[in-house]
Structure 1
Amino acid sequence: MGMHLNVPEFQLSDREAREHRNRVWWTAYIFDRMWASRLGQPVSIQDDDIEVDLPSSDGLAGTDSGDFGDPEYLIANIRLAKLAGHIIASIYARRRQQGAFSQRVQQVLRDLRNWVKDLPNRLQLDTDEPSQTAPNLIVSLHLSFNQCVVLATRPILLQVLRTYRESWTNPPSDPKPQIPGSALALAETCIRCAQHSYRLLTEAWIDGSFATFSYFNTQYLFSAATILAISSLLNDRDSQNDGDDFEAAAQFLTQLEQNGNFAAKEFCRHIDAMRVSMKAISGRRDESSSDPRGVYPALTTPRMPGAIQEAGLPYIGSMVTAGMALAEPSLQELLSQPDFNLQFMDTPIYDDALQSLYWPELPTEGWMAG
């Protein structure tokens, strides 16, 4: 249809019609990138092929400009959607990539940090008011940002969990798995963003603004529940709370399923399978002499809200927001380095070992039953 190209002004001189056409395209672009990032699919059209002006209110007549939403809000969504597509292509694509895995993660997090810094003040979550008072569009924007950070850091968290699990299953002579501090800082960033999303979603449910049949909100909830489940297994200072929040999120999904949300129905099946695996892992951990508490300081160090507020990023009560997580001094130091150490992932990434994090071995019979 050629929607990804500008129409010459002599063919379409009406300013409002041109702006409407541009915004139809960018809305489709946002949905394409967001659906691709949620479903793990490639994007429909590459950024290099797009030649459409960004949304703007310039030149719109006063009587007509009210028909168009805030262009800065749309531009923030477009930039975030572009980053989501880049995350899928650079971190999750199975083709051979340029550069080490750690370099790609580092660049993505730098881009996400810059997105937060460039966000207009009116699109930030108000740090002085409960998030329930924020407009739904702003909450949705920050939920989407949280999910991008989770996507960028989730492979590291999964690898950390795998390393822990191996030490519990086959305790070595030294029960302390060798995990670099950079990986632990990134794993913690993933957990903090999931915690923040969970809080935003539960507050939306309480105040009645949660869209019962929204796939995106339901997927955000399931994604946060998955991260909370992993955190509950790591025995850090928040593990008990995260385990409780995981169960609460599971009940939340069950209620959505009972209300007719088809996505929640599918996610609840995964939650049931996760509970079985969590019980088995907890049993192995308890039988092992290995106890990660006190061994992994990046997962046990108290938060530093003062330093985060100095960076100009939002702090909501005692909850670490995604912007705060990216402003943690330890992570800031990592992002300022030319490269950081994720060697325990860089080697297997090219041997398809990372794919086993997402495609585990399954029983050959009956795994589709029910």
Structure 2
Amino acid sequence: MPLQADTRRARRTPNAHLTSPVSTSDGQSNLQAEECPDVAIQPQSEPQSEPEFRLRTDPFVIPSRTIPNFQRNRRQWIWLSPWSTWSFTVRLMLTLGEKLRPGSSSLPQNVLDTEVYEFPWPSFSASEINISGLPSLNHALYLFTTMKFHLGQTYRLFDEVEFESEIKDFYANAVQNVSEYRVWFIKFLLVLAFGTAFHTSHTTAQEPPGSRFFSRAMALMPGPGCMWKESMLGIEILAMAGLYLFCIDDRESAHCYLSNAIRIAQMEGLHTQLPQEELGAEKVTHCRDLWWTLYIMDRHFSSSLGLPMSVQDGDITTPVNPPNVGSQSDSARSLQVNLSHLMSIIVTTVYLPARTPLTSFLEQTRSILHTLAHHAQEIERIIRLKFDNSPGAMPRETHYLTMLYHQCVIFATRPPLLAALKERSELLGHPDDENWDGFLAQTATVISAGIKSAAKTLQILSKEYSMLEVFLPYDVEFAFGAALHLTMASAVFPDVVDYQHCRHLSRQILHELVSRGNRIARARTAELKYLETLCAELAVQGRRQGHQTLTLSHLESEPMDTWGADAGNEARLSVGDQNLGAGMPEPDVSLQDLGHNTSSNMDLLNSIGISADNFFSIIQQMPDPETLSESILDWDLWKEAT
């Protein structure tokens, strides 16, 4: 294809336009060839008579991309999804490896061997139920309390007071009750599995912690055609089983169990506003709490696997309280629901299976950042009103909420960073073909926001090692996602952030988790080291071949420790005056007016890097879409070789 070959050598202008790693607009497959990145920054045709220069890119969905499966099951391949972080990492490894190490496209075995734990699934033949090996009543209550501490602030799976009473009733006559309440006994075993897993530390066992109780629960589990008859109890059990499987990195099985729980919940109408006068306030509250727990889990599981969400928002009518209503825990939970919803919006609008003009991408990003600014206002209010005079470290629910917030920023701003990385790798050896000024003028603010959030994520995780979750996978995901983002940035913008310091923080966090028995952290560490090597090679080759060092000038002059420190120190922007979009209420309160404890509140906000002012400022700095030219930013991870 001569036109495309000529285009590859044309001087590239950075007026770009965005294509997701999913498909092209014409739906043609280009995945039959080398897997090197197809760059996003392409010249538009200047005179009308000349053709517009565009590179053909891999549509990714037609056909899908796969790698060989080396797990001990009957799957022949592993599908690499559009937005899963793990799939993204593998695709990036393949892309950079093919470009930097031609002829050596295979991945290291420790990346392909994705079985983290050795978990022997029990036989699903009829199993005789027994009470052997159960802990004492006091120990069982202790394990239940441990589970509540780790899960209760994020998930509300069942009535905890009622369940504690049921445990005591069960132990009063365990031999008889175990046969009479067989399905409840499954739930009890799952609680023991979680409690044991959270309590276990520094283990070197090949099997996951708590697997002894979990395996017994699975052996007693009724078939999918029976669990719906258990109604709420069946939903709770399936959701708990899915969560445990997700924690041991069996994400596919976890998704299957959670999906079954959601289907039963829909049949019970949990996604709708149930009649309180008929069911009672307590039952309706439990149904609502359980539904939003399933919702949060679904958004997380689906995003992690790169799958469509199991439930569409338009089908949900059950309410969720505003973040400023209820207790501290209620407020944090409401924001978790909102941020989970925002994450699903990000992965389904930013990571589109089509070619998207840069103007559209920036408008989508502007809308997302505007929503994040609104959520930052809510967090500011909550910290002032709910956490006022609270001594000690950051509350656990605030920790998770903060990490989820920064994860949204990272996901939303990753496309232009990837586009820059691909442009640099694609033009290795041709420094004169690069022209970055226009591209960075349009995207530097967005790229900077993602880098800031990634660095702040590592800062927060490294401050309180005692708060790191060893069994739940979230802190591993947050640390790995942030480190991945900064590793990519280091290859293209080497002086934007103190990468060596951030790299040291990420290694410390993952090492701490590994030392406490988290085998998933060990697997992510191996993947990160390999990707760090590839990105370092790209940076070295770029310097040797005379490529310019790229900068994001306004970020490089800003010390990392001050990110977020201007919250409340600048005049809050008026939404109406700045024409930031409709539908977002103008703040009715300023942090300067929040009372005597503003200083300590500001310290907490500064430490977590969340500021509505910062995000309004970012929005204000983004280019006016009316001034942008029509061009293409292409960030597919493969192109057709011709």
The alignment's TM-score, normalised by the length of structure 2, stands at 0.47
Change (3 A) 1:340 1:50: farther
Q: Is the 8 A contact 1:132 1:203 kept in 2?
A: no
Q: Specify which of 487, 490, 500 is matched with residue 243 of structure 1.
A: 500
- Equivalence for 2:477: 219
Task: Quote the offset at 1:186 in angstroms.
Answer: 0.6
**Matches of residues 303-342 of structure 1 in structure 2 within 5 Å?**
305-306=565-566, 309-310=569-570, 311=572, 321-323=609-611, 326-327=614-615, 329=617, 331-334=618-621, 337=624, 341=628
Task: Quote the offset at 1:324 in angstroms.
Answer: 6.5
Change (3 A) 1:306 1:3: closer
SS in 2 for 1:179: helix
Change (3 A) 1:337 1:282: closer
Task: Quote the offset at 1:5 in angstroms.
Answer: 1.3
SS in 1 for 2:319: coil
Structure 1 stretch 23-32 or stretch 261-270: which is displaced more?
261-270
1:143 matched to 2:403: yes
Which residue identity lines up with residue 211 of structure 1 in the other structure?
E
1:29 matched to 2:295: yes
Task: Quote the offset at 1:151 in angstroms.
Answer: 0.7
Counterparts of 2:355 and 2:543, CA distance in 1: 39
Q: Is the 8 A contact 2:605 2:611 kept in 1?
A: no
Structure 1 stretch 214-223 or stretch 309-318: which is displaced more?
309-318
Counterparts of 1:175 and 1:287, CA distance in 2: 18
SS in 1 for 2:421: helix
Which residue identity lines up with residue 330 of structure 2 in the other structure?
P
1:154 matched to 2:414: yes
Counterparts of 1:360 and 1:256, CA distance in 2: 38
Change (3 A) 1:277 1:125: farther
Q: Is the 8 A contact 1:194 1:228 kept in 2?
A: yes
Give the gaps of 5 or more residues in structure 1.
58-64, 362-370
Task: Quote the offset at 1:308 in angstroms.
Answer: 6.0
Counterparts of 2:421 and 2:390, CA distance in 1: 33
SS in 2 for 1:89: helix
- Equivalence for 1:61: none
- Equivalence for 2:635: 354
Change (3 A) 1:316 1:17: closer
Task: Quote the offset at 1:321 in angstroms.
Answer: 1.5
- Equivalence for 1:46: 312
Structure 1 stretch 122-131 or stretch 309-318: which is displaced more?
122-131
Which residue identity lines up with residue 483 of structure 2 in the other structure?
A
Counterparts of 2:440 and 2:511, CA distance in 1: 38
Note the alpha carbon deviations across 1:196-247, whole angstroms, 9 max, x for none.
1101111121xx11111221111000011112212333445444x2223214
- Equivalence for 2:544: 287
Note the alpha carbon deviations across 1:147-206, whole angstroms, 9 max, x for none.
01111001111112333444554211666564232311111100000111101111121x
Q: Specify which of 491, 503, 514 is matched with residue 233 of structure 1.
A: 491
Using CA pairs below 8 Å that are at least 6 residues apart, which structure has the higher relative contact order?
2
Counterparts of 1:175 and 1:92, CA distance in 2: 25
Computing the radius of gyration from Cα coordinates, the structure with the larger value is: 2
Counterparts of 1:103 and 1:248, CA distance in 2: 34
- Equivalence for 2:586: none
- Equivalence for 1:194: 454
Task: Quote the offset at 1:30 in angstroms.
Answer: 1.3
Q: Is the 8 A contact 1:201 1:210 kept in 2?
A: yes
Task: Quote the offset at 1:248 in angstroms.
Answer: 3.4
1:114 matched to 2:374: yes
Change (3 A) 1:355 1:238: closer
Give the gaps of 5 or more residues in structure 2.
1-266, 573-589, 592-601
Q: Is the 8 A contact 1:194 1:224 kept in 2?
A: yes
More helix by percentage: 1
**Matches of residues 246-261 of structure 1 in structure 2 within 5 Å?**
246-261=503-518
- Equivalence for 2:442: 182
Note the alpha carbon deviations across 1:6-34, whole angstroms, 9 max, x for none.
2223431x212211111111111112112
- Equivalence for 1:9: 276
Counterparts of 2:392 and 2:491, CA distance in 1: 30
Q: Specify which of 60, 64, 74 is matched with residue 333 of structure 2.
A: 74
Structure 1 stretch 159-168 or stretch 282-291: which is displaced more?
159-168
Counterparts of 1:251 and 1:343, CA distance in 2: 44
Task: Quote the offset at 1:126 in angstroms.
Answer: 11
Q: Is the 8 A contact 1:106 1:339 kept in 2?
A: no
Task: Quote the offset at 1:85 in angstroms.
Answer: 1.0
Q: Is the 8 A contact 1:124 1:138 kept in 2?
A: no
Note the alpha carbon deviations across 1:76-123, whole angstroms, 9 max, x for none.
111111111111110124267798222222211211112212335234
Change (3 A) 1:149 1:135: same
Task: Quote the offset at 1:40 in angstroms.
Answer: 2.2
Which residue identity lines up with residue 333 of structure 1 in the other structure?
Q
Task: Quote the offset at 1:336 in angstroms.
Answer: 8.7
- Equivalence for 2:103: none
Q: Specify which of 468, 482, 487 is matched with residue 210 of structure 1.
A: 468
Q: Is the 8 A contact 2:292 2:337 kept in 1?
A: yes
SS in 2 for 1:51: coil
SS in 1 for 2:350: helix
Task: Quote the offset at 1:251 in angstroms.
Answer: 4.3
Counterparts of 2:542 and 2:507, CA distance in 1: 23
Q: How many residues align?
A: 338
- Equivalence for 1:277: 534
Task: Quote the offset at 1:43 in angstroms.
Answer: 0.9
Which residue identity lines up with residue 102 of structure 1 in the other structure?
L
Change (3 A) 1:85 1:354: same
Q: Specify which of 270, 274, 285 is matched with residue 19 of structure 1.
A: 285
Q: Is the 8 A contact 2:431 2:547 kept in 1?
A: yes
Counterparts of 1:138 and 1:118, CA distance in 2: 12
Superposition RMSD on alpha carbons, in Å?
Answer: 3.7
Counterparts of 2:392 and 2:502, CA distance in 1: 19
Which residue identity lines up with residue 39 of structure 1 in the other structure?
L
Q: Is the 8 A contact 1:236 1:299 kept in 2?
A: no
Note the alpha carbon deviations across 1:302-329, whole angstroms, 9 max, x for none.
3784476324686669878243684373
Note the alpha carbon deviations across 1:258-292, whole angstroms, 9 max, x for none.
43323213312321221220231122122032332
Counterparts of 2:482 and 2:385, CA distance in 1: 19
Q: Is the 8 A contact 2:413 2:446 kept in 1?
A: yes
Which residue identity lines up with residue 183 of structure 1 in the other structure?
T
